[in-house]
Amino acid sequence: MKLTGIELVTVALPLVAPFRTSFGTETEREALLLRVVTDEGEGWGECVAMMEPLYSSEYVAGCVDVLSRFLVPAVAAVEDLTADQVARVLAPVKGHRMAKAALEMGVLDAELRVKDVSFGTALGAARTTVPCGVSVGIMDSVGDLLDAVDRYVAEGYVRVKLKIEPGWDVEPVRAVRERHPDLPLQVDANTAYRRSDARHLAKLDPFDLLLIEQPLDEEDIVGHAQLARTMSTPICLDESIVSARAAADAIALGACSIVNVKPGRVGGYLESRRIHDVCMANDIALWCGGMLETGIGRAANVALAALPGFTLPGDTSASDRYYRTDVTEPFRMDEGHLTVPTGAGLGVTPLPDVLAEVTVRTEWLTW
């Protein structure tokens, strides 16, 4: 294949409700979609960067810049392009994993549509459906939180993840555990705590949580290893795991016993599969995280989450968890599960009228 054009499509989707985490509140998801055009066919990629560099160092405008000036020209120069070359071609550019992931995803989707092979088949899916976890933000009151959790449990979600931060942790978790004694429950701190909070975090141990996700700074691997020795709740890493090597190092240092993999954060679906293989080889539980993806990224995440090493429900929720209208046919949960798309490539494409309605900026890159 030869790249002949890329359309950078920025879409803005209002969230059905504000989503608050320890680093901010989202009311709208502005996402960057890539329409990758080649001489043999086209594909779609989704860049998971947020509008502002608060989850990680990347942000939408920065991704547009690095794609336009560095990443797309490098891939466009390749004559016989295949998706498994993209990471190597982009390696000279340091960092920018979310931007790289979106470009690799679009090339992979184009390649697989041409070959009439689904993402799931190409990645090695072992299941036809995946269990749905749901992420619940920080709320104004414990009562509001219990109402939200009750609603998600009634909808069929098989696992609930609660966002926590200093001042909103032990009490809300205790209330949810008392209301739902047998519910698979975990918490996500998004790096909001410090090593000195270890004794306080151990107060979460009585609630039989599946895990506590990224309590400390993404660069504090030693701190997580120390915390793992003072808490019975398993430590799961998210922001710290930026590659298969980072996963192998964190596991070897005892910094985590569970990994959340997000393809955008690690540079793409092919690196995600390498992280999957590292976790399987080390008997480390794995689940697929979410970045409020549209149906484009959601389709790819559901395919990834169907691989055999994904042993815990992921943040692979139905589209209506976040969006009244998705850019693709919505992902609908059936008895707590989503079906892995079986069509060529992602198996979904943006709905033209919806895409036109939610597009706030487009830019064609040609050369």
Ligand X SMILES: O=C(O)CCC(=O)N[C@@H](C(=O)O)c1ccccc1
User: Applying CB under 6 A, which part among 164-172, 265-273, 290-298, 327-335 lies near ligand X?
Assistant: 290-298
Q: Is 30 in the site for ligand X (CB under 6 A)?
A: no
- Name which of 12, 48, 75 is nearest 296 in CA terms: 48
Q: Shortest distance, CB of residue 50 to ligand X, whole angstroms?
A: 5
User: Applying CB under 6 A, which part among 216-224, 264-272, 287-295, 344-352 lies near ligand X?
Assistant: 287-295
- Name which of 291, 359, 360, 292 is nearest 320 in CA terms: 292
**DSSP classification of residue 91:** T
User: Applying CB under 6 A, which part among 115-123, 243-251, 288-296, 304-312 lies near ligand X?
Assistant: 288-296
Q: Is 290 in the site for ligand X (CB under 6 A)?
A: yes
Q: Are the C-beta atoms of 257 and 286 separated by less than 8 Å?
A: no
Q: Shortest distance, CB of residue 297 to ligand X, whole angstroms?
A: 9
What φ, ψ does residue 45 adopt, rounded to 5°? -130, 155
Closer CB to ligand X, residue 119 or residue 157? 157
Q: Is 291 in the site for ligand X (CB under 6 A)?
A: yes
Write out the two tokens for 116: 């009439």
Q: Is 292 in the site for ligand X (CB under 6 A)?
A: yes
Closer CB to ligand X, residue 23 or residue 207? 23
DSSP codes joined into one string, 9-32 = EEEEEEEEEEEEETTEEEEEEEEE
What's the distance, CA 28 to chain centroid? 17
3-class secondary structure, 1: coil
Q: Is 130 in the site for ligand X (CB under 6 A)?
A: no
Kindly report the three-state secondary structure assignment for every residue of 183-235. CCEEEECCCCCCHHHHHHHHHHHHHCCCCEECCCCCCCHHHHHHHHCCCCCCE
> Which residue number has the CB closest to ligand X?
290
DSSP codes joined into one string, 61-80 = HHHHHHIIIIIHHHHHT-SS
**Binder of ligand X out of 131, 263, 268, 289 (CB under 6 A):** 289
Q: Is 242 in the site for ligand X (CB under 6 A)?
A: no
Q: Is 139 in the site for ligand X (CB under 6 A)?
A: no
Which residues 171-190 are close enough to bind ligand X by CB under 6 A?
A: 188, 190
The DSSP H or E segment spanning 279 is helix 269-281
Q: Which residues are catalytic?
A: 163, 262
Closer CB to ligand X, residue 118 or residue 190? 190
Which residues 84-123 are close enough to bind ligand X by CB under 6 A?
A: none
Q: Are the C-beta atoms of 306 and 337 separated by less than 8 Å?
A: no
Q: Shortest distance, CB of residue 366 to ligand X, whole angstroms?
A: 32
Q: Is 326 in the site for ligand X (CB under 6 A)?
A: no
Q: Shortest distance, CB of residue 55 to ligand X, whole angstroms?
A: 4
Closer CB to ligand X, residue 53 or residue 308? 53
Q: Is 315 in the site for ligand X (CB under 6 A)?
A: yes
Site map 141..170 versus ligand X, x via CB under 6 A: ------------------------------
Amino acid at the residue 218: E
- Residue 320 neighbours by CB under 8 Å, 6+ apart: 16, 330, 332
Note the residues at the interface with ligand X (CB under 6 A): 21, 26, 50, 55, 135, 188, 190, 238, 289-293, 315, 317
